[in-house]
Amino acid sequence: MYKFAHITDCHLGSWRNHKLRELNIQAFEKAIDACISEKVDFILITGDFFDVNVPQLAPVKRAVDVLKKALDAGILVYMIYGSHDFNIANISMIDILHSASLFIKPTQFVHNNGRINLKFFVDPKTGAKITGISGRVMGLDKEIYELLDRNELETEKGFKIFLMHTGIKEFMPLNMNVPDSIPFSELPKGFGYYGGGHIHKKIERKLSPFSIVIYPGPIFGSTFQDLEETANGEKRGFYIVKFNDKLVSYEFIELPTVEIISKELSVTNLTSSQIDDKLKQLVNQLDVKNKIVLLKLKGKVNAKIGTINFSRRNSEFINNGAIASFINSTSLSRIESKSITTSGSDIANIEKLVLVDKLKDFNSTRKVKKSICDRFDNSFLGKAGEIKAISLLTTLKLGRLENETNLNYDDRILAEAKTVIFS
């Protein structure tokens, strides 16, 4: 009897918050350590190994160290790419790891009379026959599925594994919208194991006693939504699967994670200070020590959302021992948001008119010292405010540099925006 592990959607390097980034990498390290102590024969990774195609080097080094550890223990890693891993125009970090033979990419195919023939990679130790299709940005892998010569794959003998980084329409959870999923009919039949990535949820679908489709879901998660779902009971981990010439058994290995407090606050009809009072109350009430705090504000409010000091409340949660705190106000809307009608000669002119109009009802009504109010007014109202608003808008419109990661881009724009605001 043999066994393999199936890990997916590691998104290494994700999270700007360094504690969350660390927890994510640790989850991967724990998963590989478990594979080594369980003495699995090989490991499958089904894409989104990194969060961006050129990640920061610190997480890359950690990833390389861990992959090397598995190789040194005699465990081969088979990996397909996910939509996050690469960029069609450039060389990606994952390509460099592949060039260094840290993993095998079982996705070779040839075009043959308008059809696509996928090659099997035979695992030297177990004889398992592995093939797969990498995920493509914007679901461009769909074309490969459509042209696939399934018959050739289906007649191959042995224990066969198919790796994919795409959803399968029929098997997606009802509440999930995965627009670029493929129909199950596009997959070759008769494989012992279909290993999926891309879907950030754990899905098991038994097709017959000796055939199963499994999406392990991410090892930790890379978005707020992922963490929200973890808080609501979604388990995070990976699979260990046993087989001989057929599928024998499969087991989900949960990776322990930190506790997440996820709350939705309905703040309909409240004013800014009433919303802030609610938040202060939570700061005092909740035991957040070593937990992640996710607060989502919902409703139509009477408030100027911009005047609520969310970052202050976030830091208070952190001071009380939270690992990370996020107050999400993107679902809030104003009861009567005033619309502005204007006309101008070009975009820049219209933007300027809108900003000037908006600035008219902008003032420092907060309960702070007069000297601070005066400084604020001198800097943000009237002509000075107009210039600041326009240059801030210009800064926020700056594009990403070639090969700049999301993280570096965000940091640069934030730094430039701060310079505009505080100059």
Q: Which stretch binds Mn ion (CB under 5 A): 1-9, 121-129, 225-233, 367-375?
A: 1-9
> 391-397 long-range contacts, Cβ below 8 Å, gap at least 24?
391/420, 392/417, 392/420, 392/421, 393/351, 393/355, 395/420
Q: Which stretch binds Mn ion (CB under 5 A): 5-13, 120-128, 143-151, 311-319?
A: 5-13
Site for Mn ion in 232-261 (CB under 5 A): none
CA dist list (Å): 222 to 50, 167, 229: 10, 18, 11
One character per residue 38-77, x = contact with Mn ion (rule: CB under 5 A): ----------x-----------------------------
Determine the size of the site formed for Mn ion (CB under 5 A): 2
**CB of 117 vs Mn ion, minimal distance in Å:** 28
* Cβ proximity of 163 and 195 under 8 Å: yes
Q: CA-to-CA distance for 423 and 421, rounded, in angstroms? A: 6
Q: In the complex with Mn ion, which residue's Cβ is closer, 9 or 41?
A: 9
Residue indicated by tokens 């090659």: 119
84 an active-site residue? yes
Dump the DSSP string for 272-301: HHHHHHHHHHHHHH---TTEEEEEEEEEEE
Residue indicated by tokens 């994919």: 164
**CB of 141 vs Mn ion, minimal distance in Å:** 14
Q: In the complex with Mn ion, which residue's Cβ is closer, 83 or 272?
A: 83
Q: Which stretch binds Mn ion (CB under 5 A): 4-12, 268-276, 277-285, 399-407?
A: 4-12
**CB of 165 vs Mn ion, minimal distance in Å:** 8
Give the pair of three-digit tokens for residue 92.
């990606």
Give the sign of the dihedral formed by CA 75, CA 121, CA 155, CA 125. negative
Q: In the complex with Mn ion, which residue's Cβ is closer, 54 or 283?
A: 54
Relative to beta strand 203-208, strand 211-215 is: antiparallel
**CB of 197 vs Mn ion, minimal distance in Å:** 7
Q: In the complex with Mn ion, which residue's Cβ is closer, 135 or 385?
A: 135
**CB of 347 vs Mn ion, minimal distance in Å:** 35
Tell me the CA end-to-end span of the chain in Å, nearest whole number.
68
Strand segments (E) across 76-144: 76-80, 109-112, 115-118, 121-122, 129-133
User: Helix H segments across 38-184?
Assistant: 57-72, 93-99, 142-147, 150-155
Of the residues 6, 11, 18, 84, only one is catalytic, namely 84
Q: In the complex with Mn ion, which residue's Cβ is closer, 82 or 106?
A: 82
Site for Mn ion in 322-361 (CB under 5 A): none
**CB of 215 vs Mn ion, minimal distance in Å:** 10
* Cβ proximity of 358 and 375 under 8 Å: no
Comparing every residue's Cβ against Mn ion, the nearest one is 48
Q: In the complex with Mn ion, which residue's Cβ is closer, 92 or 329?
A: 92
**CB of 218 vs Mn ion, minimal distance in Å:** 6
Give the pair of three-digit tokens for residue 154.
């289906």
Residue 141 touching Mn ion (CB under 5 A): no
Q: In the complex with Mn ion, which residue's Cβ is closer, 69 or 142?
A: 142
Dump the DSSP string for 205-263: EEEETTEEEEE---SS-SSHHHHHHHHTT---EEEEEEESSSEEEEEEEEPP--EEEEE
Q: CA-to-CA distance for 411 and 10, rounded, in angstroms? A: 23
Q: Which stretch binds Mn ion (CB under 5 A): 3-11, 152-160, 344-352, 373-381?
A: 3-11
Q: In the complex with Mn ion, which residue's Cβ is closer, 106 or 221?
A: 221
Binder of Mn ion out of 9, 41, 85, 228 (CB under 5 A): 9
Those residues whose C-beta lies under 8 Å from the C-beta of residue 67, and which sit 6 or more positions away, are 32, 77, 97, 102, 103
Spatial CA neighbour of 122 closest among 95, 158, 151: 158
**CB of 13 vs Mn ion, minimal distance in Å:** 13
Question: Residues with catalytic annotation?
Answer: 84
The footprint of Mn ion (CB under 5 A) covers 9, 48
